[in-house]
């Protein structure tokens, strides 16, 4: 008679009990301001936590979220932020680790957060405050780790300037201007820059075209990578990004792309992403890897599109080909007469 089946069954029972006793919580928040914090803060959140906060403002308003404290078990416990209801298509960003996140301003009247923790090890958790703002203001774009922010008003026409502490270099645009993005709405003209050490990966890319690759590509990237690239084009222009190769550890290493219409785009695994078209004159790529396993990484080519041209991605079709759209790696980016326009 073997005791193994009994112990195996007992362990499954204990696991099920642990899951069922994990904290599930849902909060609906309204009002001009308030706070959001993880269960048990600051003494640690529970394992198997699954908590959702949905903050709602009135029409013609948006929500600004500022973190005062942040500590989650890196890579295993994650706070997801959604621009709208907590649905995959609204994912704005994924936060983990111990670095204080930048200020987040919603695009519309709803901002949601979801905390998921695993079965072991927790940390202090997070504490944030939110404030409802009129939609015609941009909100605080955020402070820079290892940097300085100048400017304390964030209305239409206001400017905020950034600089870095000694030993760090500014990546991105040093001056942000709040401008009207649509009727009764406003946004900053460029993303928040960053201050990086001289030996850090990433950078600011200018020019009509170029290539972005993960560290050491086509060899394996390193663990715990955190790289940010910002592509800047002329005002009024847009940017096309075409992936040539893509292989990340599925579900653990991610490439986030912002600067497109709607929420951020998230890529992981080994499927080659579809071409990405910016809705602004910039694109930002943020690559992160966890502490285990490595893959080949990714390589992508970007191409600026001048204002006034209509370009179409995909195979060349019958029609007039503009000479201003060159070949991008293994595929073409022609300006053609086609039925589906991506610009």
- Assess whether 81 and 177 both reside in one domain: no
- Assess whether 184 and 216 both reside in one domain: no
- Tens-place pLDDT, residues 138-159: 999 988 888 999 999 999 999 9
Residue 317 lies in a domain: no
* Peptide bond preceding 174 in cis form (omega within 30 of 0): no
- Assess whether 304 and 280 both reside in one domain: yes
- Assess whether 152 and 194 both reside in one domain: yes
- Tens-place pLDDT, residues 283-317: 999 999 988 888 999 999 999 887 655 444 443 43
Q: Which of 135, 156, 186 delimits the end of a domain?
A: 135
Closest CA to 208 of 231, 185, 181: 231
Residue 337 lies in a domain: no
- Assess whether 194 and 227 both reside in one domain: no
Q: Which of 135, 165, 187 delimits the end of a domain?
A: 135
- Assess whether 171 and 210 both reside in one domain: no
For the CA atoms of 143, 148, 151, 156, the dihedral, rounded to the nearest 10 degrees, stands at: -50
Q: Both tokens of residue 339?
A: 């039925």
Q: Both tokens of residue 141?
A: 């774009």
Q: What percentage of residues in the chain have a pLDDT greater than 70?
A: 82
- Assess whether 288 and 210 both reside in one domain: yes
Q: Are 242 and 313 in contact, with CB atoms under 8 Å apart? A: yes
- Assess whether 129 and 209 both reside in one domain: no
CA distance 281 to 276: 13
- Assess whether 260 and 205 both reside in one domain: yes
- Tens-place pLDDT, residues 101-131: 888 999 889 999 999 999 988 889 999 999 9
Paired with 71 in beta bridges are 125
Helix (H, G, I), strand (E, B) or coil at 285: strand
- Tens-place pLDDT, residues 166-197: 878 888 889 999 988 776 788 888 888 888 87
Residue 142 lies in a domain: no
- Assess whether 43 and 83 both reside in one domain: yes
Question: What DSSP letter does each residue of 170-215 carry, written as one string?
Answer: EES-SEEEEEEEETTEEEESS---EEEETT-SEEEEESSEEEEE-T
Closest CA to 313 of 256, 266, 273: 273
- Assess whether 207 and 261 both reside in one domain: yes
Specify the number of domains making up the chain: 3
Residue 140 lies in a domain: no
* CATH code (residue 292): 2.60.120.290
- Assess whether 47 and 89 both reside in one domain: yes
Residue 38 lies in a domain: yes
- Residue/partner pairs of 27-30 with CB below 8 Å, 24 or more apart: 27/51, 27/52, 27/53, 27/54, 28/54, 28/56, 29/53, 29/54, 29/55, 29/56, 29/130, 30/55, 30/56, 30/57
Which residue range forms the structural domain that includes residue 106?
A: 24-135
Residue 319 lies in a domain: no
| Residue 332 pLDDT | 41
């Amino acid at each position: 008679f073997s005791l193994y089946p009994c112990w195996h069954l007992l362990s499954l029972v204990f696991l099920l009990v642990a899951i069922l006793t994990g904290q599930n919580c849902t909060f609906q928040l309204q009002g001009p301001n308030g706070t959001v914090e993880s269960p048990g803060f600051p003494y640690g959140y529970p394992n198997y936590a699954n908590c959702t906060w949905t903050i709602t403002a009135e029409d013609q308003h948006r929500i600004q979220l500022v973190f005062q404290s942040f500590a989650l078990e890196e890579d295993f416990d994650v706070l997801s932020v959604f621009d709208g209801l907590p649905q995959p298509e609204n994912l704005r960003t994924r936060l983990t680790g111990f670095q204080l996140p930048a200020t987040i301003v919603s695009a519309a009247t709803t901002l949601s957060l979801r905390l998921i923790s695993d079965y072991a090890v927790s940390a202090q958790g997070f504490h944030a405050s939110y404030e409802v703002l009129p939609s015609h203001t941009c909100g605080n774009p955020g402070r820079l780790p290892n940097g300085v922010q100048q400017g304390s008003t964030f209305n239409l026409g206001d400017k905020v300037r950034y600089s870095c502490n000694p030993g760090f270099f500014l990546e991105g645009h040093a001056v942000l201007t709040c401008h009207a993005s649509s009727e009764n709405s406003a946004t900053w003209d460029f993303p928040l820059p960053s201050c990086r050490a001289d030996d850090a990966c990433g950078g600011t890319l200018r020019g009509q075209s170029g290539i972005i690759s993960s560290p050491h590509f086509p060899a394996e990237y390193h663990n715990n990578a955190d790289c940010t690239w910002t592509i800047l084009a002329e005002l009024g222009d847009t940017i096309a990004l075409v992936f040539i190769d893509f292989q990340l550890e599925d579900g653990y290493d991610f490439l986030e792309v912002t600067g497109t219409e709607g929420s951020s785009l998230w890529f992981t695994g080994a499927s080659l992403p579809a071409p990405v078209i910016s809705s602004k004159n910039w694109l930002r790529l943020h690559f992160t890897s966890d502490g285990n396993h490595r893959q080949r990484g990714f390589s992508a080519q970007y191409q600026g599109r001048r204002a006034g041209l209509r370009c179409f991605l995909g195979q060349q079709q019958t029609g007039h080909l503009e000479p201003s759209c060159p070949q991008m790696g293994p595929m073409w980016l022609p300006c053609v007469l086609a039925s589906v326009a991506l610009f």
